[in-house]
Amino acid sequence: MSELFDAVDALVASRSVLPPPVERKRLRVAHGLTIDEVATALKVRRATVSGWEAGKTEPRPPEREAYARLLDKLAELYPATPADAAAPVQDAAVPATFTGEPAPAPEVRTAAPVSGAAAVTAAGNTQTGKTQPSASAPVASAPAAASRPARTARPLPSSASRGPAEGKAVPANTLAGGTDSRFENGPLAVVDVDADGQVLAYCVGGLVLDVPAKSLPALVEWTLREARLGAPKLSGPGKDADPLLVLTASALKRYGLPVALSDEERHAGRLPEDHKVIKQLVRAEWKLTKRGLGPWARIYRPATGSDRQCVQLCIPSWNALDPRSWPHAGQLPPAELARVLGVYASRVMTPRGSTAVTGLELMTALHPPTRASEPDTDGKRHSEHNPGSLGKDAIDPMNWPPCEVPDGHPVLKDLPRFHVRGPEEKLFEEAYDWARPMTDDECTLRYLVGIDVNMAFAAGANGLNVGLGAPTHVKNPVFDPKLPGSWLVDLSHVDLARVRVGKDKWADLDASLLPSPFTPTGERPQGPAWYATPTVAYAQELGYEVRPLEAYVRYDNGRYLDGWYQRLRDAFLATMADLGVHADMEPADFLTAMDGYKERDPGLAIVVSAVKATVKGGLGKLRERPRGEGWKPGQPWRALARPTWRPDIRAAVISRTRINLHRKVVKHAAFTGQYPVAVLSDCVVYAADGTSPLDFLPYRDGKPLPGGFKLGINPGLVKHEGTQSVLWGEEVRERFNAPELNLARYIKDGQVTGKDSGE
């Protein structure tokens, strides 16, 4: 009888009533859930939940019953209203932005004290002084018990009157990633002084606040008490993001700060301690961190309990926004700069410094090293290690494996002066810089075509198992491809002339036309060397035996970088979608969409550049080197004290990225007989008869080679980097008398200088 009951229950579950797809998304977003969280709870793929919400697929038992139960509970918490039927759903996980909707004029208002709560109404007509509702501006209601001071409506400077990004605006709360009333005005503001001498704070979504502060200490007080700036924490044990103020040149003058740093100040990275503004902060009992008052400054008072008082400053004219990461951002008008930084803050996090610093801080924000314990017998909670994070005491900074540390580290202080460590002493996992002379057959072709792997190092971090704790030294270990660590092993016997390219499939290749997967230069190793786990595992994958001599392995391990990768991936894909480049486009459509995508919205193109720089910079920070401060070889430097100083993790990511690229090169060579002419980091150059990647990538019926290169915007897929003629390549190499000059470095625009080529 029980079997019959089970069958009946299963039959009922198979017909569980579900709301329409749009309502499914509304309920999820209303509760602040991401697609990933729902997918994890239901034990399905992210794409499966996306399909349910898009109406492309329907859930099947047993997931259908669980999904219906989830939606029923959410419907009880968030009943639908008539307005929900007409309003599009904005996903908190991937905030919608800039789809060309007409924008309201910027709203100028006086910020309310933190204790107050009032309605945020639609933007008024600033030219006439009249206030009227706007169809595109959302209206949020709040209790009327404590009314907000009346906002001021008046003409704005031309740079602000058009709103952010030429008529494209997003509500501040949407960009802030939530509806937390503490941060209703978004994560940041750009502070500027208009032609009338009024100090204005340009926030995300076109909002502009009047700033009454007359000094920098008063500006900090206003920010914490009235501005309602900041962002919610990214994980349970984490901390809310401090408000960020970006000071323009006119704001610097207003608050007594120099528009540009002197040579001495720029070298020191800060203003001198006796500067009058720093004295003002000291008198007001504000403190500065060790970096002082520089391009990125933090002004704070020691926290009392959970009450954190901290404001961060960003000063573009002091080179806070490095043009290599934030192209032209420092020259943007205030409203546009607020928009660009706001998109980045909502999709990645509020900037904490350079993109490299922010990339590292994002790792910590997603995996804080500590959390609150369960209450003890007295009901008190204590700080304890947060599982899955890099704990403060995981590794003694003075007891690192010698093979994993860079030159000058304290563990190497006893080495002879000027000693150069070889491969058997030093783990050297770096990106490719390899090239070869072209063959006679390749010289008969017309073009050199470069393809570039999207977010290559982010893709290398995805799903990577890394060490979380201290290493264990092992002699003559048996290699385990699932165990992160550093391995001393001889891979010189691996012959690329014959490699395994499938479970029982082997391929004969021309090894002279391929780089070795085991060295950054592409040269075949000559004996034992230190390698990260992905490199040694690839030797096994190619069909060769490996016998390590010794290793430093980490039994405490996990996929620490998964959340970091997913957040940066989502930020990249969402921003590229706003620029008209979507995932799963047909190859020809993708190439067309990528052509000139930066010109469609230069502001969002800056965000794309910053996201990419966050990936590379964050990984680079894992092995930060000394930065002046009188350091001498053999002495510790400041970065060593961080739990996120992890050169082994950086090495593992770079190793996996290089191996991923080599695997695709081998599959491509085995299937097509085509070999790369040059490889630089994540760019590969092939000789072809046409100017497009489609002229040499083996697509059949629209499907790419399994395991090979595939055109697309997702991390790990490739885009067109550039095309030059074969004659150009031969002329450049002849001009500099360098038959192996790496043409991948110049394939994008064809510009080569003597300095670039090593002359």
Q: How many domains does the chain have?
A: 2
Who wins on pLDDT, 57 or 200? 200
- Residue 54: inside a domain: yes
68 and 36 belong to one structural domain: yes
- Residue 41: inside a domain: yes
CB burial of 24-57 (b: ≥16 within 10 Å; e: otherwise) equals bbbbbbbeebbbbebbeebebebebbebbbeeee
149 and 228 belong to one structural domain: yes
**pLDDT 10s digits, 268-318:** 999 999 999 999 999 999 999 988 999 999 999 987 766 789 999 999 999
76 and 137 belong to one structural domain: no
pLDDT at 103 over 80: no
171 and 30 belong to one structural domain: no
pLDDT at 209: 96
**pLDDT 10s digits, 205-235:** 999 999 999 999 999 999 999 999 999 999 9
Find tokens 């009032």 and name the residue: 118
Residue 163, number of CB atoms within 10 A of its CB: 23
- Residue 29: inside a domain: yes
Residue 103 and residue 100: Cα distance in Å, rounded? Answer: 8
Residue 118 pLDDT level (bands cut at 50, 70, 90): very low
Residue ranges making up the domain that contains 186? 107-349
pLDDT at 341: 98
Q: Is the pTM of this model over 0.75?
A: yes
Under 8 Å between Cβ of 671 and 424: no
Residue 378 pLDDT level (bands cut at 50, 70, 90): confident
**pLDDT 10s digits, 308-346:** 899 999 999 999 999 999 999 999 999 999 999 999 999
Residues in the chain: 759
Distance from the first to the final alpha carbon of the chain: 86
Under 8 Å between Cβ of 569 and 717: no
Percentage of the chain with pLDDT > 90? 67
CA dihedral over 581, 671, 520, 411, signed as positive or negative: positive
- Residue 184: inside a domain: yes
* Average pLDDT score over residue span 651-666: 98
* Domain C-terminal end among 333, 349, 365: 349
Give the H or E element holding residue 678: strand 678-680
Find tokens 């786990």 and name the residue: 533
pLDDT at 45: 80
Tokens for 538? 């690839």
User: Where do the DSSP E strands lie in 305-421?
Assistant: 307-314, 370-372, 383-385
Of 682, 633, 636, nearest to 660 by C-alpha is 682
CA within 13 Å, CB half, 605: 13
- List the CATH number of the domain containing 17: 1.10.260
Residue 252 pLDDT level (bands cut at 50, 70, 90): very high
35 and 172 belong to one structural domain: no
75 and 113 belong to one structural domain: no
pLDDT at 72: 87
* Average pLDDT score over residue span 77-99: 56
**pLDDT 10s digits, 58-75:** 888 888 888 888 998 888
- Residue 411: inside a domain: no
Residue 194 and residue 211: Cα distance in Å, rounded? Answer: 11
44 and 118 belong to one structural domain: no
pLDDT at 379: 77
CA dihedral 112, 135, 570, 322 (to 10 degrees): -60
Residue 88 and residue 83: Cα distance in Å, rounded? Answer: 10
Under 8 Å between Cβ of 291 and 297: yes
Tokens for 91? 């996903």
pLDDT at 754: 57
Which of 75-84, 587-596, 691-700 has the weakest average pLDDT? 75-84
**pLDDT 10s digits, 552-568:** 999 999 999 999 999 99
343 and 194 belong to one structural domain: yes
169 and 221 belong to one structural domain: yes
Residue 540 and residue 553: Cα distance in Å, rounded? Answer: 18
* Average pLDDT score over residue span 102-120: 44
Which of 108-112, 130-134, 377-381 has the weakest average pLDDT? 130-134
Residue 88 pLDDT level (bands cut at 50, 70, 90): low
Residue 184 pLDDT level (bands cut at 50, 70, 90): very high
Under 8 Å between Cβ of 339 and 603: yes
Residue 1 pLDDT level (bands cut at 50, 70, 90): low
Tokens for 509? 């290749």
Who wins on pLDDT, 374 or 685? 685
122 and 257 belong to one structural domain: yes
194 and 142 belong to one structural domain: yes
Helix then strand count (H, E) for the chain reads 23, 23
pLDDT at 94 over 50: no
Residue 324 and residue 66: Cα distance in Å, rounded? Answer: 48
